[in-house]
Amino acid sequence: MTIEVCVDSVVSAINAAKGGAHRVELCDNLFEGGTTPSAGMIAIVREQIRIGLQVMLRPRGGDFLYSAFEYTIMQHDLQIARAAGADGVVFGFLHPDGSIDKQRTKEIVTMARPMNVTFHRAFDMVADPIQALEDLISCGVDRVLTSGLERSAIEGMDMIARLVEKATDRIIILAGGGVRPHNIKKLVSHTHVQECHVSGRKTVPSVMAFQNTRVGMGGSLQFPEYNTSVVDTEMIRAFHF
């Protein structure tokens, strides 16, 4: 079983590696599902870990229908990730009708080589998952991250199992979304996936002595300013069975 851990910090990447993760998916802004991390973040994470490093290419939160400017940004970010030593990139492109944007997907796959490529959970927003899977295979994508088009992989187990059956050895199905130590065995047994995407996080309180709780730095939906969420090494160890 290959375990990929979603991380947004150097500490989380280090903790994931200590916990036995095979690779990390490095993102920023996990509150919106992950966006592209900074060049500095990629470089320092690469210095600190020797396991696989996948870098998210996503210029903003929201949908996966990108403007020409946003697409150009993603191409530049890909080159930054490559230069920093990333092993792979993670991205997703859709058309307005919920189908795969095969042209852009093929272009990014070609640009990324010899890095590996993952089509992320934009897949969970497609109109026809079986056709979308075939489209990704035709584009040369290495793996697809999916919760089976449901809010969690456990809820989407039947679809994930169907995708695994359809994929055969042509593409890897990476199951993710709500995967926890207590449910990973059930997920794997039901779907026969060989790779799982997990988070395994804990909350670490700030060490700030003075705390102004009247002010928040984000929008109306915001996390507590004086807590940090980081990967828990022991929880990552618990995913292995």
Q: How far is C-alpha 123 from the geometric centre of its chain's CA atoms?
A: 12
**Which 8-state DSSP code applies to residue 172?**
E
Q: Can you tell me whether residue 43 is helix, strand or coil?
A: helix
Asked if 45 and 26 count as a contact pair (C-beta separation under 8 A), the reply is yes
Beta bridge partners of 116: 88
Short-list 98, 159, 163, CA closest to 127: 98
Side-chain-side CA neighbours of 132 within 13 Å: the count stands at: 28
Predicted local confidence at residue 87, as pLDDT: 98
pLDDT digits (tens), the chain, 241 positions: 999 999 999 999 999 999 999 999 999 999 899 999 999 999 999 999 999 999 999 999 999 999 999 999 999 999 999 999 999 999 999 999 999 999 999 999 999 999 999 999 999 999 999 999 999 999 999 999 999 999 999 999 999 999 999 999 999 999 999 999 999 999 999 999 999 999 999 999 888 899 888 777 766 556 667 788 899 999 999 999 8
Concatenate the DSSP letters of all residues of 119-159 into one string: E-GGGGG-S-HHHHHHHHHHTT--EEEESTTSSSTTTTHHH
Beta bridge partners of 6: 25
**Which 8-state DSSP code applies to residue 86?**
-
Q: Can you tell me whether residue 104 is helix, strand or coil?
A: helix
Q: What is the pLDDT of residues 27-63, one digit of tens each?
A: 999 989 999 999 999 999 999 999 999 999 999 999 9
Q: Cβ of 230: how many Cβ atoms within 10 Å? A: 20
Asked if 134 and 167 count as a contact pair (C-beta separation under 8 A), the reply is no
Enter the tokens of residue 59.
């210029």
Alpha helices in the chain (DSSP H): 10-18, 39-48, 68-83, 102-112, 129-138, 157-167, 184-191, 233-237
Predicted structure pTM score: 0.93
What structural domains does the chain harbor?
2-237 (3.20.20.380)
The number of residues in the chain equals 241
| Amino acid at site 123 | F
